[in-house]
Amino acid sequence: MLRDLFINFCLLSTFLFFGDMALNILRNHFKASPIWLNLASGIGLGMFGIVQLIFTFKLQNGILLDFRQLSIIVAASVGGPWAALIASLIIATGRVLIFGGITSASIIGVVATLLTFVLVFPAFLLKGSFRLKWTVAAISTTIVALALLLYRLGLGGLPIIMLLAALQVISCVFTYYMVRYLRETREMHDMLKQEIEHDFLTGLYNSRGFESRYRLAIASGSPFALLLLDIDHFKKVNDTYGHPAGDAVLEQLGKIVREYVRKVGCASRKGGEEFAVILRPCDSKRAIETADRLRRKIEETPFLLPDGRLIHITISVGIGLYPTFSESQLVEETDRALYRAKQEGRNRGVLAV
């Protein structure tokens, strides 16, 4: 039995690790929507539940035990109720079609699987910590498994039932810590990625983030526009009101730019008072109109300083187009257009030609 337990834990660890890796690939590289991620979680954990049916614990009286309920609990914790339902249906179907057809044992197995879903689903709707939800789900499913085994074996099977209870507790605790570790690792990775690619003051992409998005835009092969924005006379803001006031202006400007381009592109703070916006896809007419609307929006918006005073600022904008300019020329030519906008009086946009 110890051999079977070791094999099950090895399978569980391997599947959780590579399953989490696969979900991260779908999430980060293929930008899969939450619906597709939940669907993939349900299907994957359902198939793994069938694998768990294969690697059973062989006890006395021909009793076979397995950890299928863990797949359903994990599906609910990772993908929500729909993932848990999909996993449950796949496991129940597999129990009948693959393992002996319709028999009293398979019917009990299907009932146990569906009851597991019925109990796990509300457990993860509870308010509270992940540990609380997992504990409620684990205890309720363990009670169901013990009750069904008691129904089949009677009081004479109490030793086997107590053994099952011990195995259930060990497996639930082991799986909980595995899932929690993977969750915390992913959250830490996302947090580090956020800090690496985003500017701490404005929340926009930083220079590293801009370079990454710029390369993606080039790789797409689609036409796009690059806007380089610079705050006019920003040094006067710092000199007159102090650097905390300058930071407040940058923070509020970053919010305006982010909200304005959120649906049409991405924005970054390249450094100091200079910002960059990538608009995809975009032609010259749309780029000029977008730049002018954004410029007027900033000109009309009062900026609140830490001491309660309100000031107004303006920006100058350089506008460049790809593939009018090549990858190596676009940033340089757009920067030249920004310089011309400042030379021509500021508070305006200039198209690179």
pLDDT for position 293 = 95
pLDDT of residue 110 exceeding 70, the answer is yes
* CB neighbourhood size of 204 (10 A): 25
Q: Do the domain assignments include residue 117?
A: yes
In this structure, are 232 and 169 located in the same domain?
no
Residue 202 in any domain: the answer is no
Within-domain flag for 201: no
Residues 55 and 190 reside in one and the same domain: yes
Known catalytic residue at 273: yes
Q: Among residues 195, 211, 273, 300, which one is catalytic?
A: 273
Residue 292 lies in a domain: yes
Note the pTM of the prediction, 2 decimals: 0.72
Averaged pLDDT of the chain: 91
Domain stops at, among 195, 228, 261: 195
Higher-confidence position of 192 and 38: 38
Domain range for 25 is 2-195
pLDDT in tens, 279-335: 988 999 999 999 999 999 999 999 999 999 999 999 999 999 999 999 989 999 999
> Is there a single domain that holds both residue 252 and residue 345?
yes
Q: Mind giving me the DSSP string for 221-271? A: -S-EEEEEEEETTHHHHHHHH-HHHHHHHHHHHHHHHHHHHTTTEEEEEEE
Segment 3-25 shows an average pLDDT of 90
Note whether 46 and 109 are same-domain residues: yes
269 and 162 part of one domain: no
Please compute the mean of the pLDDT values over residues 72-88 and round it to a whole number.
94
Is a pLDDT exceeding 80 seen at residue 119? yes
Same domain, 182 and 252: no
pLDDT tens for each residue of 196-248: 999 999 999 999 999 999 999 999 899 999 999 999 999 999 999 999 999 99
Clarify whether residues 19 and 126 are in a common domain: yes
Q: Looking at residue 145, what is its pLDDT?
A: 81
Q: Are residues 222 and 123 in the same domain?
A: no
d(CA 200, CA 77): 31
Looking up residue 169, the CATH number of its domain turns out to be 1.10.1760.20
Are 7 and 55 in contact by the 8 Å Cβ rule? The answer is yes
Count of structural domains within the chain: 2
Which of 168, 195, 222 is the endpoint of a domain? 195
pLDDT digits (tens, 9 = 90+) for 246-274: 999 999 999 999 998 988 899 999 989 99
In a domain, 19, yes or no: yes
Q: How many other C-beta atoms are found inside a 10 Å radius of the C-beta of residue 168?
A: 21
Position 60 confidence tier, pLDDT thresholds 50, 70, 90: low
156 and 184 assigned to the same domain: yes
pLDDT for position 64:
66
170, 296: one domain:
no
Residue 61 has pLDDT above 70, yes or no: no
Domain presence at residue 136: yes
Q: Both 315 and 222 in a single domain?
A: yes
Q: How confident is the model at residue 139 (pLDDT cuts 50, 70, 90)?
A: very high
- Under the banding of pLDDT at 50, 70 and 90, the label for residue 66 is confident
Asked if 233 and 138 sit in the same domain, the reply is no
Tokens 């975009």: give the residue: 282
| Domain containing residue 252: CATH number | 3.30.70.270
Specify if 200 maps to a domain.
no
What are the distances in angstroms from CA 114 to CA 68, 191, 207?
Answer: 11, 37, 51
Structural domain ending residue among the three candidates 142, 169, 195: 195
